[in-house]
Amino acid sequence: MRLKDRTAIVVGAGQSPGEGMGNGRATAITFAREGASVLCVDRNLASAQETVSLIAEKGGKAVAFEADVTKERDIKAMVDEVPKRWGRLDILHNNVGVSLAGGDAELLAITEQAIDNCVAINLKSCILAAKHAIPIMRQQRSGAIVNISSMAAITVYPYVAYKATKAAMIAFTEQLAYQNAEYGIRANVILPGLMDTPMAVDTRAQAFKKTRAEVAAERDAKVPLRRKMGTAWDVANAALFLASDEASFITGVTLPVDGGASVRRG
């Protein structure tokens, strides 16, 4: 029970259609298993509700909440909901992110609309969630924020908007950590590498007209550690550590969860 009596928001706690488990869902389940009350936020309420049902089956405490995090009004409502319900806000976990699904493309093909989409979903949402959570956390003089960026931020990646927004998340998290350290608030960012999630594998299979197994095999081959992608539980476990008191002297850190892929240069 490493998060006993804590309260948490997991933004993007549903998941994309496909096989297996997404990062957001696995994180919500992990936080609840460790004793937190979790607000499972998603613009797809049915998907957030599925996450809540999985948590409830194991005796955990969670509530689904519908919000489109491209809208500041929805973000404020989601942040306010947690202290209203459970008295305080200990953990903010920003998991929402899109690339291909947001229309992302290579430079010469990218549209203005796709850039706006990716900036709003990946970056603006995480900045505005912090804007509304920080005053509550400053008053408590404690809080942990975990942002989900991507290894794409620091390694080669074909599409423009995802890479740029995920890189910006790292800079923003560092600033957030530094400016709020005196209030006892920590902020850290995780860089997932090649993970076996519906968002990454099933979305690509559909976009590139390949089978799931083909996409999975190509991704597995690129991972140094056991030549196997990571899973959503690897991201969830890293987030659990960063959100828990075990990381109480860790802030402003960028943590790759990538099976060693970032070690390769050139």
Ligand X SMILES: NC(=O)c1ccc[n+]([C@@H]2O[C@H](COP(=O)([O-])OP(=O)(O)OC[C@H]3O[C@@H](n4cnc5c(N)ncnc54)[C@H](O)[C@@H]3O)[C@@H](O)[C@H]2O)c1
**What is the contact surface with ligand X in residues (CB under 6 A)?**
12, 14-16, 22-24, 42-44, 47, 67-70, 95-97, 121, 148, 150, 192, 194-195, 197-200, 232
Closest contact distance (angstroms) between CB of 32 and ligand X is 15
Smallest gap from residue 252 Cβ to ligand X (A): 19
Please indicate whether residue 162 is annotated as part of the active site: yes
Among residues 157, 159, 162, 178, the one annotated as catalytic is: 162
Between 22 and 103, CB nearer to ligand X = 22
CA distance 11 to 104: 21
Min. distance of Cβ 46 from ligand X in angstroms? 10
Shortest distance in whole angstroms from residue 6 CB to ligand X: 21
**Cross-strand bridge partners of residue 186:** 144
Catalytic residue ranges:
162
